[in-house]
Amino acid sequence: MGISHQDLAGAFHARGHQLWLVGGALRDRLLGIDSHDQDYATDADPDAVEALVRGLGATVTTVGKRFGTIGVRVQGFWSEITTFRGDSYSGGTRWPDVTFGASIEEDLARRDFTINAFAEDAFSHRFLDLYHGRQDLAARVIRAVGDPATRFREDPLRILRGIRFASQLDFEVEPGTLAGMAQTADLIPTLSQERVTAELDKLLQGANPARGLEALRETGALPFGLPELAPMVGCEQNRFHQFDVWGHSVATVQAVAVTPETVRLRRWAALMHDLGKPAIRHVKANGEWGFYRHETIGAELATSLLDRLKLGRAESHAIVLLVRRHMDRPEPGDRRSVRRFMARVPEHWRDLLALKRADNASHTYDDREYHDRLEAACLRAEEEEREALRAESPLTGDDLVRIFDREPGPWIRVIKERLSTLVLDGDLAPGDREGAERIARRMLNRGRA
Ligand code: ATP
Ligand code: MG
């Protein structure tokens, strides 16, 4: 468990130092949200902080020390203790990457939004709300501390943080802050891709992603943060659609059913599913807009966009697959067609179905009944497959792992499928374990599994 918040507060106080709880943890507490990372601000310099917490026997990390931060385990969680920030530099020349401030007031003035600029004295519990952040929390507003454009110019990441908070908390960006974002959005490309991607990722997983995405568009940040998506804005569609491609994509992100495990994949896929449309749009014989095979070019465009974003390989692969397959429309009554649909998105048919439902939800026609039938057919196919594997193969997966002394993996499925087919076809007797073992060995030797 390590040291407690009270241990820290007492130790700083005893040495005549200030220690303030600051930032997101106070915001989250006021919102009634659990937050594990505690940030502290202090007048003590990083050497003094390190000596103090080591004196308490705490678990300490100094990786952030040259930025003024000492990491400490407090009540089981990593916390950061950072020397006051400011414009003025007080001290020697040992901390080249930061400027230290003289007071908590100066430190709070450097923070990005009013709802992130609270401080609470760890010892006396005195609460500072110099920028009326509590009012903004109650009114559900994101408001910059100080002059918005100046603050965004200092650090353009704040633009994306503000928009991300709007999505995460379902807050409105205050008009002056929104205008400041619009004035400075062209500075976004000066940020590292990792930081931009991290914010976009949080935005998409927020409570109201449509709010964040619309703020990206409204502020003009979209062409700088996600230029590949910008052509969707104003790309008009046919009479089945109420929105342009952008509006439809945002509506799809908002509509797609998610769980904490699927939110990341499904929302990114929903955002990109029609990425190919602006590039492929053409006039059809009947005079309407056509988007023939937009899913193919969309999958290609998504591949390069995801490469640039560095979202992670497994996730990117799955997103591209969902983009590529979102127009698939198997006949629910046809087993082969349903199985092919599922086999094209291994492990992801539920995600694909969720995407298709959401895609449809913002069309002018209602296809719910079709998707219900398709879902029922997929569940049936899955159950049949499970039964076939369970009942028919004379050897179980565990048997195979034991007999061949190999790590479990896709090879088991390949062998079991072959064995069950042989049983179903009458070429292997049910329960013929020796025969089954011979066949499995032959398959492995030939590298067929
Ligand atoms: P979360 O941790 O939920 O993403 P947070 O607000 O706690 O949100 P952190 O990155 O942990 O974000 O930062 C902690 C605090 O540091 C913020 O609440 C804010 O006061 C300040 N802060 C962080 N980044 C910036 C920035 N770019 N400009 C100004 N202040 C910032
Ligand atoms: Mg935080």
Q: Determine the Cα angle at 308 with ends 226 and 300, to 5°.
A: 85
348, 364, 120: which is closest to 242 by C-alpha? 364
308, 311, 252, 246: which is closest to 275 by C-alpha? 246
Task: Tell me the pLDDT tens digit for each residue of 206-249.
Answer: 999 999 999 999 999 999 999 999 999 998 887 677 789 999 99
What is the pLDDT, as a whole number, of residue 292? 83
Q: Which residue type sits at 337?
A: S
What is the pLDDT, as a whole number, of residue 393? 87
**pTM, to two decimals:** 0.85
Q: How confident is the model at residue 42 (pLDDT cuts 50, 70, 90)?
A: very high
Going from the Cα of 188 to the center of ligand 2, the distance in angstroms, rounded, reads: 21
Task: Tell me the pLDDT tens digit for each residue of 392-445.
Answer: 788 999 999 999 999 999 999 999 989 988 887 768 877 889 999 999 999 999
Cα(first)–Cα(last) distance of the chain, in Å?
Answer: 48
Three-state DSSP state, 100: strand
What is the pLDDT, as a whole number, of residue 101? 87
13, 150, 32, 19: which is closest to 72 by C-alpha? 19
Residue 138 has pLDDT above 60, yes or no: yes
Task: Tell me the pLDDT tens digit for each residue of 344-403.
Answer: 999 999 999 999 999 998 776 678 999 999 999 999 998 887 776 666 788 999 999 999
Task: Tell me the pLDDT tens digit for each residue of 186-204.
Answer: 999 999 999 999 999 999 9
Percent of the chain scoring above 70 in pLDDT: 95
Query: What domains can be seen in the chain, in order of their start residue?
Result: 5-225 (3.30.460.10), 227-384 (1.10.3210), 385-449 (no CATH)
Residue 54 neighbours by CB under 8 Å, 6+ apart: 60
| Ligand 1 pocket check for 170: Cβ under 6 Å | no
| Ligand 1 pocket check for 367: Cβ under 6 Å | no
Taking the CA of residue 23 as reference, the ligand 1 atom at the shortest distance is 18
Residue whose CA lies nearest to ligand 1 atom number 22: 111
Residue whose CA lies nearest to ligand 1 atom number 3: 24
CA distances from 113 to 69, 81, 205 (A): 21, 20, 20
- H helices of 219-325, in order, are 222-225, 245-255, 263-272, 277-280, 294-309, 313-325
Q: Which long-range CB contacts under 8 A does 103-110 form with residues at least 24 apart?
A: 103/43, 104/18, 104/20, 104/41, 104/128, 105/130, 107/20, 107/22, 107/41, 108/22, 108/145, 109/145, 109/146, 110/85, 110/86
Taking the CA of residue 25 as reference, the ligand 1 atom at the shortest distance is 7
Asked if 208 and 170 touch (Cβ cutoff 8 Å), the reply is: yes
Going from the Cα of 24 to the center of ligand 2, the distance in angstroms, rounded, reads: 5
Going from the Cα of 111 to the center of ligand 1, the distance in angstroms, rounded, reads: 8
Mean pLDDT for 92-112 is: 84
| Ligand 1 pocket check for 112: Cβ under 6 Å | yes
What is the pLDDT, as a whole number, of residue 31? 95
Residue whose CA lies nearest to ligand 1 atom number 30: 111
Three-state DSSP state, 78: strand
Q: How confident is the model at residue 289 (pLDDT cuts 50, 70, 90)?
A: confident
